[in-house]
Amino acid sequence: MELRVVLLLPLCFPGLQAQTPGELSQREGSNLSVLCHYPAEDEYRDLKSWCRWIDKRCQVQVTIIDTITDLYTERARQGYITIQDDPIHRIFSITMTDLRVQDSGTYFCAYRKGWQDYVPLKTISLTVFKEFHKLELDSLSVQCSYRDLGYRSERKAWCRYAGQTGRCENVVSTDTTYTWSINKGKKGRASIRDDPQERTITITMEKLQAEDSGVYWCALYTPYTSFPFTQIMEVRLSVAKRPAATTLSVTTGTSQNYPPGNSTQAGQGVITYIIISTVLHLLLIPVVIILITSCIRHHRKLKRRGMWKLVMPHFLFCLSPTIIFPLQVSLFSTHCALEKIRHAQPRKPEGRLLVMTSSHSESKP
């Protein structure tokens, strides 16, 4: 579409026949500055203008004559389009700030003497593109508006532009051209949705891969023609591979598997051991009673003989083994039983702590 407009300009403005339109691509949100030279010194009092070629005519954006500036569009009145004249160097400059996709089009700077036609000085074919930075397996969602362009009844497409051949390869396109309902299409990982009431195309690409990087167009689609795609908006997509993750494995325990048969045998062994330990404890009780009785009898004999100095040491000496020995046997037996129980229980599988580390990455819209 831009090429067709540029080809029409020399027919309407003969001064453009010797000019080659300059093609500029700017990222959305960036700024554009254009310098326009006018030849004669006395022309600084002539009207200088910045025009956009729409509907086969010049749509004036801003003008300046001497030091008086006139603003004709909402963007100009908001301060996004400015014009300045430098009569000493015979140059006037145009600045467009915070560019939008809707600013894409063909522009030219011109001057006019009196009521004569505009004399074009420089022509610019401007493309304002959206830029996305993604990681592999991310999803992309893009909205393309054609509110100011019409195109309600045409099919829409998402195509990949091949700069080497100058052709755009169809990725996905709408199947219908209804003007009163949603038109959809899906192919592989890409889908398209055209809302003719809102005049908005929505493109979705899922599970992005690095090879998906490239230049894409939201476009009008007229198949079986010489130029099947007419650009509505350009999108530049960059898909980077995800940083490799480092896995650190930390063993927190050892694992030991016990077959079901071994576990049953171990449990039976523990029960048998507890029974034997209980019987031994019961047998120790009469032994302890006999020893204590013997100590008491011997203690009384020493009292009757008047050996008072030997009574207490002898009693302690006799009673100590009687108490300590059975206590030691009991503690040892209990300890062995607990060890038997602990070894009989299967241990839990070893635990692993996974630590994932990856470098920080940023995704820009």
Greater confidence (296 vs 250) lies with 296
Residue 274 lies in a domain: no
* Among candidate residues 63, 45, 76, 40, the one with its CA nearest the CA of residue 110: 63
Q: How far apart are CA 319 and CA 325, in angstroms?
A: 10
**Contact between residue 227 and residue 208 where contact means Cβ atoms under 8 Å apart:** no
Hey, what are 82's tokens?
Answer: 């400015």
99, 127, 155: which is the final residue of a domain? 127
For Cα atoms 75, 66, 55, give the angle at the middle one, nearest 5 degrees: 40
Residue with tokens 């890409």: 190
Question: Residue 274 contacts by C-beta under 8 Å, 6 or more apart in sequence?
Answer: 337
In this structure, the strands spanning 68-71 and 352-357 are unpaired
Residue 303 lies in a domain: no
**pLDDT per residue as tens digits for the range 305-338:** 666 555 566 556 665 665 666 666 666 666 666 6
Say yes or no: 194 and 151 in one domain. Answer: yes
Say yes or no: 57 and 27 in one domain. Answer: yes
**pLDDT per residue as tens digits for the range 28-86:** 999 999 999 987 765 667 889 999 998 778 899 999 998 899 999 999 999 999 999 99
**Contact between residue 116 and residue 131 where contact means Cβ atoms under 8 Å apart:** no
Q: Quick one: pLDDT band at residue 15, thresholds 50, 70, 90? A: very low
Say yes or no: 185 and 217 in one domain. Answer: yes
Q: What are 105's strand-pairing partners?
A: 126
127, 149, 176: which is the final residue of a domain? 127
Say yes or no: 155 and 106 in one domain. Answer: no
In the three-class reduction of DSSP (H, G, I as helix; E, B as strand; rest coil), residue 67 is classed as coil
Domain range for 123: 22-127
Q: How far apart are CA 147 and CA 110, in angstroms?
A: 28
**pLDDT per residue as tens digits for the range 99-133:** 999 899 999 998 887 677 778 899 999 999 999 99
The count of domains in the chain is: 2
Residue 326 lies in a domain: no
Length of the chain: 365
In degrees and rounded to multiples of 5, residue 213 shows phi and psi of -60, 140
Q: Is the pLDDT reported for residue 364 higher than 60?
A: no
In the three-class reduction of DSSP (H, G, I as helix; E, B as strand; rest coil), residue 9 is classed as helix
Kindly report the CATH number assigned to the domain that includes residue 119: 2.60.40.10
For Cα atoms 107, 110, 111, give the angle at the middle one, nearest 5 degrees: 160
**pLDDT per residue as tens digits for the range 171-193:** 999 998 887 889 999 999 999 99
